[in-house]
A and B are shown apart, each in its own frame.
Chain A
Amino acid sequence: AQKITQTQPGMFVQEKEAVTLDCTYDTSDPSYGLFWYKQPSSGEMIFLIYQGSYDQQNATEGRYSLNFQKARKSANLVISASQLGDSAMYFCAMREPSIQGAQKLVFGQGTRLTINP
């Protein structure tokens, strides 16, 4: 069963506009974490933002914010004032519970974001 769903294979946005990348997740564990990573064409995976399931407020990191709606099991990434350099693949991921303490990340299929000048 797919645990992370990203329904937008691709998105095209005009520069300087805000963009929302969708992510829904499925878990029955009350303790979990949600992540967003960026993968530019060069291939590296860049950590963007993290939201814990018990966090009361939505996470923010500069132009990135995570719209966390727990009841809907959604964790959408919002990028404000998009820039050409934001063009990349974006992956949503969820930490699976682990008795060993470390995190096992399960990734969605990704959304390819293209920013048009």
Chain B
Amino acid sequence: DAGVIQSPRHEVTEMGQEVTLRCKPISGHDYLFWYRQTMMRGLELLIYFNNNVPIDDSGMPEDRFSAKMPNASFSTLKIQPSEPRDSAVYFCASSPWANQETQYFGPGTRLLVL
């Protein structure tokens, strides 16, 4: 079975540009999570969805960040405009309803904003 798929794996962009990160959760999973990992702040939950509906976005740093889940198999995290301090690894994870204890992580997107 395919795991969580994220694209792109690496992204280099210039300050002010729009960045879109993509995630395909494991088929059948009801929950989808977006995390950010930095050296300074570690792993932080940004937002999570249940059945495509955003449930908690309290971790989203500011209005420049937005996330959508138009269907059960696709989610995006958008940064507009991007800033150098957004440089981080962004992880997407999914979890099935029946086994909420385990979140399965994607490989991550390494973002560098110059």
Across the interface, A102 reaches (CB within 8 A) one of B31, B91, B102, B108, namely B31
| Residues of A contacting B102 in the complex (Cβ-Cβ under 8 angstroms) | 47, 50
**Would you list which residues of chain A between 78 and 117 have a CB under 8 Å from chain B?**
91, 93, 95, 98, 100-110
| A-contact 0/1 string along B4-24, CB 8 Å cutoff | 000000000000000000000
Q: Are the CB atoms of A102 and B42 closer together than 8 Å? A: no
Residue among B43, B89, B95, B107 making CB contact with A107, cutoff 8 Å:
B43
Q: How many A-B residue pairs have CB under 8 A?
A: 58
Closest to A93 in B: B43
Decide if B48 touches A47 in the complex (CB within 8 Å). no
Instruction: Say yes or no: B42 contacts A103, CB within 8 Å.
Output: no
- The answer to whether B43 and A91 have CB atoms under 8 Å apart is yes
B33, B93, B101, B110: most-surrounded residue (chain A CB, <10 A): B101
Contacts of B100 in A (CB 8 A): 101-103
Q: Is there contact, CB below 8 Å, between B42 and A110? A: yes
Q: Are A100 and B50 in contact (CB under 8 A)?
A: yes
- Closest CB of chain A to B111's CB: distance in Å? 13
Per-residue interface assignment for chain A, residues 28 to 47, with 1 indicating a CB less than 8 Å from any chain B CB and 0 otherwise: 00000101010000111111
Residues of B within 8 A of A109 (CB): 42
The B55-114 residues at the A interface (CB cut-off 8 A) are 55-56, 89, 91, 93, 95, 100-108, 110
**Nearest chain-A residue to B99 (Cβ)?**
A50
> Roughly how many angstroms separate A35 CA and B104 CA in the complex, as a whole number?
12
Is A45 in contact with B56, judged by CB distance below 8 angstroms?
A: no
A102 to chain B, nearest CB (A): 5
Subset of 17 A-B contacts with CB under 8 Å: A33-B101, A42-B107, A43-B108, A44-B106, A47-B104, A50-B101, A93-B43, A100-B55, A102-B55, A103-B95, A104-B45, A105-B33, A105-B43, A105-B103, A107-B42, A107-B43, A110-B42
